[in-house]
């Protein structure tokens, strides 16, 4: 029997980037409020704050996009959930 965990996107609140050079972990709060001017509340760093190694070039844009998705889905609460493990159709 496979274990399943269903989570709403609010449960996925933090994104953590691992620096593969020095193993520093950078954690970003996806729930940070958008300011009234509509700009992103943060933009994902492009390099490690400890050793200045650049993250994989895919990471900053992907996390910025994830933040937009998070904010949109968080507004509708638990109407959409994500499942960890095998899907049970």
Binding site for Zn ion (CB under 5 A): 19, 21-22, 24, 48, 50-51, 53
Whose Cβ is closer to Zn ion: residue 41's or residue 45's? 45
Least distance (Å) between residue 28 CB and Zn ion: 15
Report in angstroms how near the CB of residue 21 gets to Zn ion at its nearest. 5
Phi, psi of 84 (to 5 degrees): -95, 130
Q: Which is nearer to Zn ion, 24 or 71 (CB)?
A: 24
Rounded to 5 degrees, φ, ψ at 76 are: -100, 15
Q: Which is nearer to Zn ion, 51 or 69 (CB)?
A: 51
**Residue 79 Cβ vs Zn ion, minimum distance, rounded to whole Å:** 38
Please give the Cα distance from 44 to 26 (Å, whole number): 10
The CA distance from 18 to 12, in Å, is 17
Q: What gap in Å lies between CA 75 and CA 31, rounded to an integer? A: 11
């Amino acid at each position: 029997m496979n274990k399943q965990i269903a989570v709403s996107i609010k449960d996925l609140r933090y994104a953590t980037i691992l620096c593969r050079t020095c193993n520093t972990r950078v954690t970003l709060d996806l729930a940070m409020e958008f300011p009234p001017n509509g700009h992103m509340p943060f933009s994902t760093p492009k390099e490690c704050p400890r050793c200045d190694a650049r993250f994989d070039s895919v990471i900053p844009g992907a996390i910025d996009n994830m933040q937009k998705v998070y904010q949109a889905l968080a507004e509708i609460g638990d109407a959409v959930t994500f499942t960890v493990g095998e899907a049970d159709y």
